[in-house]
Every structure is written in structure tokens, then in C-alpha cells.
Structure 1
Amino acid sequence: MTAPARPSRRWLVAYLRPEWRALGAGSAVMAARACVLLALPWPLKFIIDNVIFQRKLAPLLHGVLPDPVAHRVELLNLLGLTMLGLGALDALLVFVGNRLFLDVGQRVVFRVRSDLFAHLQRLSLDFHRRQRGGELMARLSGDVRQLQDFIAAVGIDLLPHGLTIIGMATVMLLIDWRYALLALSVAPILFLMARFYADRLRQRLRQVRRQESTLSGLTQEILGGVQVVQAFARETHEDARFGEQAGKSLTASLQANTVQAQFGPAMNFIIAVATGAIAWYGAISVIQGTLTPGELLIFLAYLRGIATPARQFAKTGRIFGRASVALERIGEYRAEQPSIVDDQNAVAPEACAGRVEFRAVGFGYGAAQDVLHDISFTLEPGRTVALVGATGSGKSTIASLIPRFYDAGSGSILLDGSDIRTLPLNWLRRQIGLVLQEPLLFQARIWENIAYGMAGAGRSEAIAAARDVGVDDIIERLPGGFDAMVNERGLNLSGGQRQCVAIARAMLCGAPVVILDEPSSSLDAATEQRLMRALERLASQRAALVIAHRLATVMNADLILVLDQGRIVERGSHADLLAAAGTYATLWHALREIPEPPKLRLVSP
């Protein structure tokens, strides 16, 4: 069985292309720096050969440099100033080049993160339900951040050193090609060793990122459910789970460290052996007169210059390894495609009345997981349809099919006579107001959470929506009222308060279809009565689909559908279903006849 192909890393080129001016300028600066690095050893050569040993200058330099015999000190001063100037120019070029490449890295990371976030938002729910939240955050933050380090390392380290190696090799070949070939013979060995360790390090770092992502997801899961953890006194158990996963992450990191720790010493050993051999051969050549002491200095300086990138690669190998793995992991998410997409010929109608029709709809989450069978009913504007049934009977699944969180496996769902799969997805969802069983609020003011239901809505519109639904006084009793801040996931509000905000948000959106999944699950009796009155006013103008376990919530619905194992087993009004003496009547009477729980009797000791 062949291993799955890894995602391509070429997508990064599309993000680098808009930065071609900055990249070109940075490359030019680093090319200039390579020339400076190439020139740095030459003043020392002239100091040794011409100032100390007073060798004559080459004919090309007569009149350019002071005579080493007649103006020895002047030549030394000029060479010293030249070294100082080259050092200052190198520092300036490093600053400018670093700034250019770091800024490019920041802008690329910004665009990659923004596009990846937008892409993840538009992936279908089936993708998000099989992913852990910590894994998504790890790729959006940690993996994307590795790209900036990668761009900076390439521009700041590899580019100038690579150009310097080419220049140094050329100069050495011009001075003495035999000696140059000997000096450069170490380069292929260093390259092969770097390739060997880079491959091993990349494999280890891929495992590190996998374990870190798993640890991040576990951490978010445990801390997100800390109330349950504390309620069942399971802190020790979760400590053990966290410790086990953290241990796996530590082991993977230590293995990667071992590979990286071997990389540097191995490179340094080869470089040391090569430097010793080349220095010995160079000294013999100086003694024999085939090389000058200054030329030997040039060779040794250039050999050090060639060895520097190899050492630098050993230091930055982890950066390149992490970046390579990050490109793969980001590429995996970029390759994901939403399972729910617009039809090529989708056209948005000019208006929507809100008539929803299910025609023999079947649906399953997998090949062997059919949860709906032959569902047919009509939801008319100004009328309310209620879905009741045991947990797992398919009520919420029916509600999820209308806004196309999933597509029906068989049959069709129509909105005003048009199959919803032929309508633009964004337009379709704007026609539906949805209140989930577990309301999700954002970290913002309460009125801002309500106004989220309609683009451009302000504080006054949010308050009016809360007043229309009859929950304005509940919100006004909070410290700060409508201006009270909601913390993450709305945990500083009670379940009923969160439900009221979510219902008001749905009312504000102005959609002709409203779906309420367990709308009274967190409300007390008095608030529930106000909600029912608000729903009655709403249903006189809109189509309302209500899902509830509490039958009292839906007894005034125009049509009640009783579900059992994904099938509609009864349908009718509350009175009709009671008269039929079927499943609904049995449930109704059972709930009405539940005896009051016995009171606790305190016994004196």
C-alpha cells in the first residue's frame, strides 16, 4: 500500500510573488554584502605581503595604493581605514537586508494566516467536527509563524553566504586552481552531510509538530471543560492524561534535539580536518614560493567563509525543518475543499416568502449511519411546525438540512419551490434565523451580540429586537444592561440569559424562516411564557420550525411532527394527536402524570 502523497509546498510562491520588489531589493542588498564579505580579507593580504614583507604592488595597483617601501605607514593607514569602512558597510547592509526580509516575512504571514482563516471558515461542518480546536489553532498560529522564520533565514543567512561561496570559489581558482580544488573538495562532503541530517531532522520535527498539535488540542479540551473536571473531581485523571501526552511531545522533541546536536559537531569535525590539511599544504606552498603569505591568508579566510554557511545551516536546520513541516501541514488544510458548495448556475431570487418543503428526504452521516428516512412536510409562512421525539430521533438533523449544513442524501428540500441546492449558499442562509440548543456568544457587549444577526445593525436595533421578543427586562437587570460585556463563550451569563440573547439575535436578522432548536431548554416558566407569546407574533409573519422535548412548548404549533428513529410516525395538531391516542398522546399523558418527587425528611440524630 503506497503512502499518501504529501501536499505540495509550491503554494508559498503565490504569496511571495507580490513581494517581488522587496525581495529583489533585499537580494540586491545581500548580493552587495556578499561582495563586501569577499573583499574583507584583502586588506589583510596587502598588510602582510606589502606592509610587513614590503613586496611590490601589482602593476595595476601602482598609483592607486601608496608605495609599500616609500610610504609604508600611509599604506597601512589606508588599509586599516578600508577594513573599518568594509566593516561599517557590512553592518549597514545587514541592517537593511534584515529589515527588508523580516518585513516581507511579516506581510506574507499576515496574508497566509488571513487566507487560511477565511478558508477554514468556509469549510463544511463535517470537516470542523472531525478536527480538534487545538489542532486548528496550532496550524493558524504556530505553523504559519514558522514561515516568517523561514523567509528570514533564507534571505538573511543562505542568500548572502551562498553568493559569497560562489565568489570565493572563483577568486581561489584564479589565484591557484590546484590549491583551490583542494580547498573546495570539502564542499561536496559538507553538502551531502547537510542533506542527510536535514532529511532526518525534518522527519523528527514532523513528529514533534504532530505531538504538539495533539497536546494543544487536549489542553483546550480539558480547560474548556474545566467545570466538568472539577465537578467530578477528575483533576488527577486529567493531570495524568496531560502528562502522558506532554511526555510524548517531550520524547519527540528530545529525538529531534539528538539529530540536531549530532549535526553541528559532525560538520565542525570535517571542517577542522579540512582546514588543518589545507593550512599544512598552504604553508608548504609558501615555503616553496608558489604562494605568498597574504595569498595563504586569503585562502584560509575564504575557507572559513565557505565553512560559515555550513555551520549556519547546522544552527538553522531546525528552522528549515520546522518550516518544511509547516508548509506541509498548512498545505493539507489548503487542499481541503468544502463538501457544501454553490451550484455553478445558482441564482439568488429577488425575494423570499419562506415556504419550505421536504420531499421524501433521506440522510445519513455515513454509509451505515442513515438517520432520516422519507421525511416529507411543508413549512408555510405564518405557521409553526414543531418536531418532537426522543433524543437521536433526527430532529436537529432536519433543522441542519435547511441551511445546508449538510446536503440530503435522497429526496429534495425546496424553498419557495426552488431546490435549495440551486440557490446561492450565502443567500440561502441569510433567509434563515437559527437559535441553537447551546447558544454561542462572542466576547463583546450584549447589544453587539444581538446586532450580530444583521449586518449594519446598531444598539437601538438590538434593543428593539430584544423588546420584540420580550426579553429586554431580563437583559436590563444585568450589571451594565445591554452594554454589559460578555466573556468568552458567554460563561458570565446564565444559560437562560444566553438563550434570550441568541433568540433576540435571530429575531433581528429579519429572515423569513426561523429555526429554534430547543428554544426553552434554559428558560424558566415565566420567561418561557413570554417566549411563546413572542413566537406567536413572529409566526404570524414568518415560517417557524421549533424543536423541543418539552411538549408544553409546542402544543400551540400549527403542525406537530412526531419522529421515531428518523421517521415521521405521527403528524397533526396537539388536539388531533391527543385524540389519535398514539405516541404523542402517550408522551403527553406520561409527562402530565409524573408524580411529585418525595420530600426529604430530616431525621434528628
Structure 2
Amino acid sequence: MNPAQQLQVVIPGIGRILKRFSPYIRKQQSLITLSMLALFGEIALRLLEPLPLKFIFDELFVQQAGGAVLHPVPLIGALDTRSLLLLCAIAIVALAGIRGIAAYWSTVGFALAGNRVLTEIRSVLYTHLQTLSLSFYSRTRSGDLTLRVISDVAVLQEVVVTALLPLLANCLILLGMVGVMFWLNAQLAILGLTLLPIFWFSTFRLTQRIRAVSKQQRQREGSMAATAAESIGAIKLVQALSLQDKFTTVFTHQNQKSLKEGVKAKRLSAQLERTVEVLLATATALVLWRGAELVLRNALTPGDLLVFLTYLKNAFKPVRDFAKYIGRLAKASAAGDRILDLLDQAPDIYDLPEAKPAPRLAGAVQFDNVSFAYEPGYSVLQDISFTVKPGQRVAIVGYSGSGKSTLTTLLLRLYEPDQGTILIDNQDIRRYTLESLRTQMSVVLQDSLLFAASVWDNIAYGASTATEADVIAAAKLANAHEFILNLPQGYDTILGERGVTLSGGQRQRLSIARAAIRQAPILILDEPTTGLDKANEQEVIDALERLSVGRTTFLIVHDLELAARADFIFYMERGRLVERGTHEALMQLNDRYAALYRLQATERQYAAASNLECSI
């Protein structure tokens, strides 16, 4: 890999990042232009700063010794010694002051532009994550995704301000000072820059190693974040099963490896810094040795040599800074790669070019020879065909793993069928935009997911245009209004994350209220009563009965007593729809459904008898 290619790798994916982020960068064009003008002003003033030293040095040590100095500016030569010293002293302060102002505006302007760009990128990244399909999330850990959105973008923001922009300024200063050095004395300039190829070789060699270590460290940090998020998110189960030590061991192992990788990166950065210092000292010694010879032969003034050495030292400042910030730049490169890799992920489910917003749906649902597999060769659904009329309530039953929930995820277009077609109101659902399709479906899941927000917000999330009356009506329909009023702040009570401050029945009734406020023509209920006690179960069932009136309802349930209330029942087994019909028809068929129903009835009778004996 040549140096140009290596440089492109080190500075956060510079070619790829600039190309990808150019639309956001162009929005800050005016601010970047002003900052660039301030930067050029700072560079010009920095190049002028050493010149007063030349005049002072030559005036004091050459003219005082009886020599003659030809000043490049005639006015300087006409001044007496005291006036020249005063003028030079004022010039040093003035140049430093004006350069400081230019540097301030340059730094602030570039930092503001960089932070604006990266803040917008973080929003774009988060929005992009919302569009990715479930298949992506099934193979990616949520903690690592969180780290990319928050920490990786923060790394880029930090490096833009503390390393990349200063490095850009110093590289321009390097070019300017090299030009001045050749103008002062080409022979010394060539001698001073002789070691530059050695520097670039050692820099790029170590840079590759630092970047590789930094990338491993970022991946390790992603794994740590994922482990922490996983254990904290399931802390109840972790403590119940006494898994604290196991998760702590995994996290500690990852943490120790991250430490080793971080130390290794620091050692490589320190090695690079020391290399640069030795090369700079060697270059300075060579110039001083040759420059002194030229001064002794009157081919160069002492002031010229002093200024030249100052320029040489300042010319190598970007070199030292590059070594100093190489660890940050390498981390930023790894963070940039992770961000772009995420942005490059294309959703499996998307709006087709010809897709249109769905009209108000009646709710007629048809599956036509639908088959699906999460992984090739492992079919979950096989040749499923059925038709459900608007407003009909269908119970989908069968043993775990038979494909019941998968069937409804296809209806929601969370996945696409491998073959076959799904239609609503005789239209292929792919003809509709995703948003217009999903907003006409309400979902109540077994795991009632609530957000760390107020009760009011959790219900209103179901419909963006919901009014106060809508929220209260939905809560009443879900049998939730009474217990909500008994909460500390009523509807304004802030819930814990995932609703952990509520009981299972309360969480489920809030989920029903959120589904009710949507007033969608299609309702999907996935094991809505599992894990509830009898009292809460009855409250939830009553709410679901009211919610499903007039809606096409798909009820996934193991409790066949509840399934028997449906208008129609689908019995699934190993991804196939093996029986269908009303409860009475399936009982008369006396096959799989009937056998399972009788088994559950026997278990209920046995449980009731046991409870009666215990109460006696």
C-alpha cells in the first residue's frame, strides 16, 4: 500500500467519508469558507512571526560588530538600533495578537461546522436504523448499535475539533514554511528535509498497526456495550437465575482485552512520537552544522540562520502533531468505518417504486400459497393459503414453533415471503407504502413493551393525532382508566423502562389502550393473556372482546378455550395449515384440534380439583 493510500485509510476513511457526507458538508459551505479565510490569515501571520528576530539578531550581532547587512526592506535599514528594536518588539506582539484572533475564528468556525455536520449525521444514522429490517437486528447486538450511534459519532466529533482541524492547519503551515525555507536558502532546505521520507515511512508503518489495534478496541467496546445492555435489560432474570457472576466474567474478560489493546495503541503512538523527536533533532543538527559553516563564510547572516532554524522547527510541528494525534485519528478511522458500514446496510423491506399510500382498508386478508424461511433450507411456513373476511375474528393455534407468529409478521411486512402473495382488499400489500399499511394495523404482543414516558404518552404513541378524549376513551375500553387514576400522578405518571413499575396485567391493558386508540381495521393479538392471573386475565379478555368488535382480528393463542370464541380457527403444525373451521366443526372433525382441546379441558379440570382440595 503506497503512502497516499495509507493516508486515505488513516484519516477517517477520508475519501469514503467526504464522498458520503458531502451533502451535509455543503450545507455549511459559507461557514467553512469564512473559517478557511481565517486559517489562511493565521498561516500568513505565522510565516511572518520569525522575521522580527532576524532583524534584531542581525542588527545587534552583525552591525554592532562592524559588518553590513542588506535589509530586504529599505525602511528597516534607515532606522536606528533603538527604533528597530522597538518596532520589532511591537511587530512580535501585533503579529501574535492578530494571529491569535484569526486562529480563534478558524478553530471555532471549523469546530462549529464539524459538529453541525456530525450532529446531523447522528440523526440520519438513527433514522436509518429505524428503517432496517428485523433480519438485520436478529444478527446484530443492540448494545453495539447504541455504541455506534452515540460513542462512534462522538469520537468523530472530538477528533474533528482536537486533531483533524489542527492537523489541516499545520499541514498548510508546513507547505508555507517549506516554501520560505527554500526562499531563504535552498541548500539548507534540502538538507533539513532529507529525513522527511524516513519520517513518512515510519509514520505510515506504525499508523497501520495503530489503526488495526484501534479498530479491534472499538469492536471490543461494542461487545462490552452489548453484554452490559443485555444483562441490564434482563436484570430480573439474571438475578433470579444467579447469573451475575457469569455475565461479570464475560464483561471483565472483554474489558481486560480492551485495556490491552488500548495500551498497545498508546505504546505504538509513543513510539511514533519518540521517532519524530529523534528525526527532528537530527535534522536540526544537520542544518545547524551546515548553516554555521555558511555564516562563517559570510554566505548567510546569523539572523537568516536563526530564522531558518525557527522555520525548520515549526515546519516539523505538523509532524509532531501527526504523531501526537495518530491514536485519535486511528480511532476516528475505525469509528468512521463502523458508521459508514451501518449506513451502507440496506433494508430488506422497503417501499417499491410504484407503491402508493393505502386507502382506508376494509380488512379482507388473503394468503395465496405463501412460504417463508428465516434461513435458506429451514422453512417456517409452507404453502399457506386462506381468506379472512372483513371483521372476522380468527384464532391461530398450534404448538410452539409451528409458525403462528411468523404468519402475522409477514402480514405486517416485517419480513417478505419467499414465495406467494399476501393481499388485503384484493391488493398485493407490496403495492402500499409501509407506513400507510402498518398504521392500519394494531398489535398487542405477549411481552407488553412500554416506554420510559408518561402513561399518557404511552397510550398516545398509538396515534399521533390523539386528543385527550381519545386517550381516556381508549383507556376505558382497555379497562385501564381506573388503575391509571390511582397512580401517583394519574395519566402523567412516568413509567419505568419497559413499564417495570406496573404489573403484567396493567402493562397489557395499557398496550390494549395503545392499540385501541389507533382505530385500525386489522388487529393482531399475539398471546395477549399469557402469564396473567385469573383476575387480570379476565380484565384483559373483556378489553380484547370490545377492541376486536368490527375489526379483522388475528388471535395467536395457546389457550383453546379462548380460541373457541373466535369466528374461525386455524390449526398450524410444522409450518403448515392443517385444519381450519369453526370450533364446532373442528370438534366434529375429531382430529388434532379436538384432541388438544380435550387435553387442555382435562388439565383445567384437574387444576380446578386440586385448588378445591387445597382450599378445603
1:498 aligns with 2:515: no
1:122-201 to 2 correspondences below 5 Å: 122-153=131-162, 156-201=165-210
Q: Determine whether 1:358 maps to 2:382.
A: no
- Cα separation, 2, equivalents of 1:154 and 1:163: 14
Q: How does 1:585-604 map to 2 (within 5 A)?
A: 585-594=594-603, 595-596=606-607
Q: CA deviation at 1:426?
A: 1.1
1:272 matched to 2:281? yes
CA distance in 2, matches of 1:412, 1:273: 75
Compute the displacement of 1:112 (Å).
0.6
Letter in 1 for 2:200: F
TM-score (normalised: structure 2) = 0.92
- Any conservation in 2 of the 1:30–1:156 contact (CA below 8 Å)? no
1:171 CA drift (Å) = 1.9
- Please tell me whether residue 444 in structure 1 is matched to residue 484 in structure 2: no
Secondary structure of 1:370 counterpart = strand
Aligned residues: 595
Q: 2:217·2:258 contact (CA, 8 Å) conserved in 1?
A: yes
| Equivalent residues of 1:383, 1:539 under 8 A apart | no
The farther-off stretch of 5-14 and 84-93 is: 5-14
Three-state SS of the structure 2 residue aligned to 1:528 is helix
Shift of 1:66: 6.8
Matched-pair contact (CA < 8 Å) for 1:371–1:394? yes
Q: Does 1:335 align with 2:347?
A: no
| CA spacing shift, 1:375–1:280, aligned 2, 3 Å | same
Question: Alignment partner for residue 577 of structure 1, among 566, 576, 586?
Answer: 586
Deviation of 1:522 after TM superposition, in Å, equals 4.1
State how far apart, in whole Å, the 2-side matches of 1:470 and 1:229 are. Answer: 32
Question: 1:158: Cα distance to partner?
Answer: 2.1
1:222 and 1:536, CA in 2 relative to 1: closer, same or farther beyond 3 A?
closer
Residue 418 of structure 1: CA displacement? 0.4
Task: Describe the SS at the equivalent of 2:420.
Answer: strand
d(CA) in 2 for partners of 1:32, 1:599 = 88
> Residue 55 of structure 2: which of 46, 49, 63 is its match?
46
Distance 1:296 1:437 in 2: 81
Letter in 1 for 2:186: W
Matched, 1:433 2:433: no
- Report the residue type matching 2:190 in the other structure: L
TM superposition shift of 1:175:
2.1
Q: Deviation of residue 49 (structure 1)? A: 0.3
Residues 51, 458 of structure 1: alpha-carbon distance in 2 compared, 3 angstrom cutoff: farther
Look up the SS of the partner of 1:354 in the other structure.
coil
- 2:211 alignment counterpart: 202
Equivalent position SS for 2:422:
strand
More displaced stretch, 154-163 vs 266-275: 154-163
Deviation at 1:459, TM superposition (A): 3.2
SS in 2 for 1:297: helix
| Distance (Å, rounded) in 2 between the aligned partners of 1:527 and 1:598 | 21
1: CA distance, partners of 2:561 / 2:480: 20
The change in CA–CA distance for 1:366 and 1:323 in structure 2 (over 3 A counts) is same
Change (3 A) 1:318 1:155: closer
Q: CA deviation at 1:56?
A: 5.0
2:95 alignment partner in structure 1? 86
CA change 1:601–1:230 in 2 (3 A) is farther
Please list every run of 5 or more consecutive structure 1 residues that lacks an aligned counterpart in the other structure: none
Q: Give how far 1:360 is off.
A: 2.0
1:65 paired with 2:76, answer: yes
Within-5 A mapping of 1:229-378: 229-378=238-387
8 A Cα contact 2:163 2:328, kept in partner: no
Per the TM alignment, residue 190 of structure 1 is displaced from its structure 2 partner at its CA by 2.2
One-letter code aligned to 2:450: L
Moved more, 146-155 or 170-179: 146-155
CA distance in 1, matches of 2:565, 2:418: 32
Who is 1:466 aligned against?
A: 475
Q: Deviation at 1:187?
A: 2.5
Letter in 1 for 2:477: D
More deviation, 305-314/479-488? 479-488
Q: After the TM superposition, which of the residue ranges 193-202 and 273-282 deviates more from structure 2?
A: 193-202
8 Å Cα contact 1:520-1:553 kept in structure 2: no
Would the aligned equivalents of 1:27 and 1:155 in 2 still touch at CA under 8 Å? no
Would the alpha carbon gap of residues 155 and 475 (structure 1) be closer, same or farther in structure 2, given more than 3 Å must change? same
Name whichever of 434-443 and 157-166 sits farther off.
157-166
Give the Å deviation of 1:214: 1.0
Q: CA RMSD in A?
A: 2.2
| Maintained 8 Å contact 2:191/2:286 | no
d(CA) in 1 for partners of 2:445, 2:571: 20
Partner of 2:416: 407
Tell me the distance in 2 between the aligned counterparts of 1:194 and 1:420.
57
Alpha-carbon contact 2:71-2:77 (below 8 Å) kept: no
- Measure how far apart 1:343 and its partner are: 1.9
Q: 1:25 to 1:533 in 2, by over 3 A?
A: same
Work out the CA distance in 1 between the residues paired with 2:28 and 2:478. 52
Give deviations 1:456-483, integer Å, cap 9, x for gaps: 2133311111112333223333332222
User: Is the deviation greater in 76-85 or in 156-165?
Assistant: 156-165
Tell me if structure 1 keeps the 8 A contact 2:56–2:88: yes
Structure 1 counterpart SS, 2:28? helix
Query: What is the distance in 2 between the residues matched to 1:168 and 1:589?
Result: 92
Q: What is the distance in 2 between the residues matched to 1:8 and 1:342?
A: 27
1:225 is matched with 234
Post-superposition Cα deviations, 1:29-48, rounded to whole Å, max 9, x if no partner, equal 11111111111111111111
One-letter identity of the residue aligned with 2:76: L
Give the conservation status (yes or no) of the 8 Å contact 2:42–2:100. no
CA distance in 1, matches of 2:184, 2:418: 77
Deviations 1:5-45 (A, max 9, x none): 99943313332222222112112111111111111111111
* 1:52 shift after superposition: 4.1
SS of equivalent residue, structure 1 residue 390? coil
Q: For 2:489 and 2:564, how far apart are their aligned partners in 1? A: 36
Amino acid at match of 1:378: T
CA–CA separation in structure 2 for the residues paired with 1:532 and 1:494: 16
- For the Cα contact (< 8 Å) 2:459–2:471, is it kept in 1? yes
* SS state at 1:332 partner: helix
1:566 aligns with 2:578: no
8 Å contact kept, 1:358–1:412: yes
Post-superposition offset of 1:192: 2.5
TM-score if structure 1 supplies the norm length? 0.94
Over 3 Å counting, the alpha-carbon distance change for 1:379 and 1:101 in structure 2 is: same
Counterpart residue number, 2:120: 111
Distance 2:331 2:21 in 1: 15
Unaligned runs of 5+ in 2: 1-8
1:516 equivalent among 478, 501, 525: 525
Residue of structure 1 equivalent to 2:6: none
Equivalent position amino acid for 1:128 in 2: Y
Q: What is the CA deviation profile of residues 232-284 of structure 1, one whole-angstrom value per residue up to 9, with x for unaligned ones?
A: 22222222111111122122212212211211001111111111121111112
1:496 and 1:13 map into 2 onto residues whose CA distance is 51
Identify if the C-alpha distance between structure 1 residues 227 and 508 changes in structure 2 by more than 3 Å, giving closer, same or farther: same
- 182-191 or 423-432: bigger deviation: 182-191
Does 1:456 pair with 2:468? no
User: Mean alpha-carbon deviation: is it higher for 529-538 or for 74-83?
Assistant: 529-538
Write the distance in 2 (CA, Å) between the matches of 1:534 and 1:499. Answer: 10
